[in-house]
A and B are shown apart, each in its own frame.
Chain A
Amino acid sequence: MDAMVKEQTIRSVPSEGFRPSKVVAKDVDVYYGDKHAIKSLSIDIPERSVTAFIGPSGCGKSTFLRCLNRMNDTIASARVTGRIAIEGQDIYDTSLDVVQLRARVGMVFQKPNPFPKSIFENVAYGPRIHGLATSKADLEAIVIASLKKAGLYEEVKDRLGDSGTGLSGGQQQRLCIARAIAVSPEVILMDEPCSALDPIATAKIEELIDELRENYTIVIVTHSMQQAARVSQKTAFFHLGILVEEGPTDLIFTNPKERRTQDYITGRFG
Chain B
Amino acid sequence: MTDAVATSTRAVDFSSEAARRHVRQRYRAEARFRLYGIGAILFAATALVVLVGDIVIKSIPAFTISELTLEVEASAEAINPDGSTDPAVIARGDFVKPIREALLARFPGAADNRRQRQQLYGLLSSDAAVALRREIVADPALIGQKLTVPVLISDDADLFYKGYVTGTETDPGRGIASPSATTGDITILSSANDFSDELVAVKRALAAEARALRGERDRLRELAVGNTADLAAMTERLAATAAGAADRATLEGQVAKLTSDRDSLASTIAGYSARITDLEARYDSAGAVETLGADQPSLLVEINGGVVKATEVGNDRISGTVLIPLRSADAAAPGTWNALLLDRPEAARKVSDQEVAWLESLENEGLVSTGFNWLFFTNGDSREAELAGILGALVGTAYTMLVTLVICLPVGVAAAIYLEEFAPKNRWTEMIEVNINNLAAVPSIVFGLLGLAVFLNFFGLPRSSPLVGGLVLALLVLPTIIIAARAALKAVPPSIREGALGVGASQQQAVFHHVLPLAMPGVLTGTIIGMAHALGETAPLLLIGMIAFIVDVPHGVTEAATVLPVQIFLWSDLPEIGFQAKTSAAIIVLLCFLFLMNGLAITLRKRFERRW
Q: Give the B-binding residues of A (Cβ under 8 A).
A: 69, 71, 74, 76, 99-103, 106-109, 111, 113-116, 125-126, 129-130, 165, 176, 179-180, 183
Contact = CB atoms under 8 A, between A and B. Distances in A.
Given A103-B503, A129-B504, A129-B509, 6 more contacts: A99-B505, A109-B495, A125-B513, A165-B612, A183-B503, A183-B504
B207 to A, nearest CB: 80
A76 B423 CA distance: 11
A129 B510 CA distance: 11
B607 interface: no
A111 B495 contact: yes
A81 B518 CA distance: 36
Given A116-B610, A165-B612, A130 B504 contact: yes
The majority secondary structure among interface residues of chain B is helix
B518 A116 contact: yes
B501 interface: yes
A183 B500 CA distance: 12
B499 A74 contact: no
B502 A115 contact: no
22 contacts: A71-B498, A71-B502, A99-B504, A101-B504, A102-B502, A103-B503, A108-B502, A113-B496, A115-B496, A116-B518, A116-B610, A125-B503, A125-B505, A126-B505, A129-B503, A129-B504, A129-B505, A129-B509, A130-B504, A165-B611, A176-B499, A179-B499
Contact of A102 (B425, B501, B612): B501
Contact of A100 (B424, B497, B504, B509): B504
Interface in B557-612: 610-612
B501 A71 contact: yes
A180 B611 contact: no
A109 B498 contact: yes
A46 to B, nearest CB: 23
Contacts of B509: 129
A165 B504 CA distance: 21
B222 to A, nearest CB: 80
Contacts of A69: 502
Would you list the 5 A-B pairs with minimal beta carbon distance, nearest first? Answer: A103-B504, A107-B502, A113-B495, A126-B503, A102-B504
B502 A109 contact: yes
Interface string B486-518: 000000000111111111111001000110001
A191 B509 CA distance: 23
Contacts of A108: 502
A116 B502 CA distance: 16
A116 B505 contact: no
A153 B167 CA distance: 83
Contacts of B498: 71, 74, 109, 113
Contacts of A111: 495
A113 B499 contact: yes
Contacts of B501: 71, 74, 102
A124 to B, nearest CB: 11
Contacts of A71: 498, 501-502
Contacts of B503: 102-103, 106, 125-126, 129, 179-180, 183
Contacts of A113: 495-496, 498-499
A130 B506 CA distance: 10
Nearest to A98: B506
Contacts of A125: 500, 503, 505, 513
A134 B505 CA distance: 19
Contacts of A180: 502-503
A111 B498 CA distance: 11
A99 B506 contact: yes
Contacts of A74: 497-498, 501
B502 A106 contact: yes
Contacts of B499: 109, 113-115, 176, 179
- Of B425, B499, B610, B612, most buried by chain A (CB within 10 Å of CB) is B499
A107 B498 CA distance: 9
Nearest to B425: A76
A249 B425 CA distance: 44
Nearest to A106: B502
A125 B424 CA distance: 28
A100 B509 CA distance: 13
A125 to B, nearest CB: 6
B433 to A, nearest CB: 16
A162 to B, nearest CB: 13
A139 to B, nearest CB: 14
A63 B275 CA distance: 104
A106 B505 CA distance: 11
Interface in B498-555: 498-506, 509, 513-514, 518
A129 B425 CA distance: 29
B555 to A, nearest CB: 44
A19 B498 CA distance: 31
A115 B610 CA distance: 11
Nearest to A179: B503
A71 B361 CA distance: 90
Interface string B134-163: 000000000000000000000000000000
A109 B500 CA distance: 11
A109 B612 CA distance: 16
A179 B504 CA distance: 11
A67 B528 CA distance: 43
Nearest to A130: B504
Contacts of B497: 74
Nearest to A185: B504
Contacts of B495: 109, 111, 113
Nearest to A102: B504
Nearest to B505: A129
B511 to A, nearest CB: 12
A113 B495 CA distance: 6
Contacts of A179: 499, 503
B520 to A, nearest CB: 12
Contacts of B504: 99-103, 106, 126, 129-130, 183
A9 to B, nearest CB: 31
Contacts of A183: 503-504
Contacts of A116: 496, 518, 610-612
Contacts of B513: 125, 129
Contacts of B506: 99
A1 B543 CA distance: 76
B266 to A, nearest CB: 90
A103 B506 CA distance: 10
Contacts of B500: 115, 125
A146 to B, nearest CB: 12
Nearest to B514: A115
Contacts of A76: 424-425
Nearest to A107: B502
